[in-house]
Structure 1
């Protein structure tokens, strides 16, 4: 006991205590909810059995239920569109802005700060702002489009089934671009300027330098941004809650919002857990692919 006290007093055992605290946090707030959710996906859980723990196991019935519902395929396609378009646009715009802010010009720091201001806003607040912009009768976007002659009639961005999903995508792109810009700016700042100067002396154009120097040396950062973009986009819930609530008729519904609807609106908690489990394993797959690719890159 005295040896333990002396070790702790000297600070030699402090790192062990920090590791134990971190592991306890992960078990309590990550591992336990994950295991609990997986177990519920194999049980018949509703509002009454949730508190009583009287939950019969139903095997794969919940999974068959989800996959067999007529709306599941449409919601799956919506999720693919939402994630694919959002991540691609956030990456492209964020990369362009990161390269733009590598230039030295007056007001660079202040302008960069303005872009970051939108990123720190809560997603619900962003959703409220975009709901005013997208308003069919008095929205700023419709007013601007009609003033420019790009459309002759109002577009009901949040109630037209043909455009409502893309309205949420636009808001999500706006929200995620600053994060992409920050990560990619760090990567660009790490590329030695001497390499560009040497390539320029050899006659390489700006476009050639981009494809032969910038992209290859940004491979790790691009992989991280894409992986994090997919994970964060799959977690996006607030924008759907603030803008469309998955409607109309599931036209803008995605898996993360559908899981909440099944669990907390329709009280089909076991079925809602199935969607969460499927999304969790997809996120783990994306993370594993990224880690494996970076490991191979370091080995090479």
Structure 2
């Protein structure tokens, strides 16, 4: 007992305690839910068997049911569209803002802080704000478009099947741009100024310096932003719950929201687990690709 107290008094065992606590947290809140979800995906689980462990083993039948569901492929296309447009727009706008705030001008820090204020807001709050902005009858966006003459009639952003998914994309881009801006600003700040000065002395234009210096030297940051953007966008649930609820007629439904609908609206819990497992596999592949790219970067 004295030896045990001496270890902690000297600080030698405190790091071990922190490691054990961190591992316990990961097991309890990450590993166990993932494994439990994987197990459920192979079982016949519904409202009557979820509270018991007497669940028939379904094998791959849940996966066959999901893959042959008429909604699966349209919802998968919506998900690919949502992720692709969101990540591309967040990256391009975030990079443009990072380059803009790299300039030294009065009030730059205040403006940067205003952008960050939107990022720290909960997704449901952002969804409520954009639901008001995009409302078909009294929305500010429709009023602005009509005022400048871009449209003569109201656009029902959230109830038109042709554009409802784009309404959620707009809100998600607005929510994710500040995060991209901050990460890319760090990458820009790490580029030595003398590299730009040497290129400018050699006669390189601003566009040439951007493509020959900025982008190549920010390869690691761009990879991180793209990978994290894909992962965060695949986790986006709140905006769909606040804006469209996957409608109308599943026109804006995506895999993450469909998984929730299967499990908690239709009580097909096994099928909902299958959808989440498929998304976890995608996230794992994205993480592996990013880790391999950064390892190659260090080797080079």
TM-score w.r.t. length of structure 2: 0.99
Aligned position for 2:68 = 68
1:8 Cα deviation after fit? 1.9
Runs of 4+ with >4 A deviation: none
Structure 2 residue aligned with 1:276: 276
Structure 2 residue aligned with 1:182: 182
Q: Counterparts in 2 of 1:1-300, with a 5 A limit?
A: 1-300=1-300
Question: How far did 1:153 drift?
Answer: 1.2
Q: Deviations over 1:113-133 (max 9, x none)?
A: 111111111110110010011
List alignment gaps of at least 5 residues for structure 2. none
Larger CA deviation: 106-115 vs 173-182? 106-115
Q: What RMSD, in angstroms, separates the aligned Cα atoms of the two structures?
A: 0.7
Distance 1:52 1:119 in 2: 41
- The answer for unaligned runs of 5 or more in structure 1 is none
Give the alignment's TM-score, normalised by structure 1: 0.99
Distance 1:171 1:148 in 2: 22
C-alpha deviation, 1:94, in angstroms? 0.1
Residue by residue over 1:192-229, the C-alpha shift from the partner in whole angstroms, topping out at 9 and shown as x without a partner, is 11110111011111111111110111000000000000
The alpha-carbon deviation at position 3 of structure 1 amounts to 2.6
User: By how many angstroms is 1:68 displaced?
Assistant: 0.3
Task: Decide which moves more: 239-248 or 3-12.
Answer: 3-12
Distance in 1, Cα, partners of 2:141 & 2:255: 28
| CA distance in 2 between partners of 1:280 and 1:99 (Å) | 34
For 2:236 and 2:266, locate their aligned partners in 1 and report how far apart those are by CA, in whole Å. 21
Could you say what secondary structure the match of 1:48 adopts? coil
Count of residue correspondences: 300
**Superposition deviation, residue 237 in structure 1:** 0.2
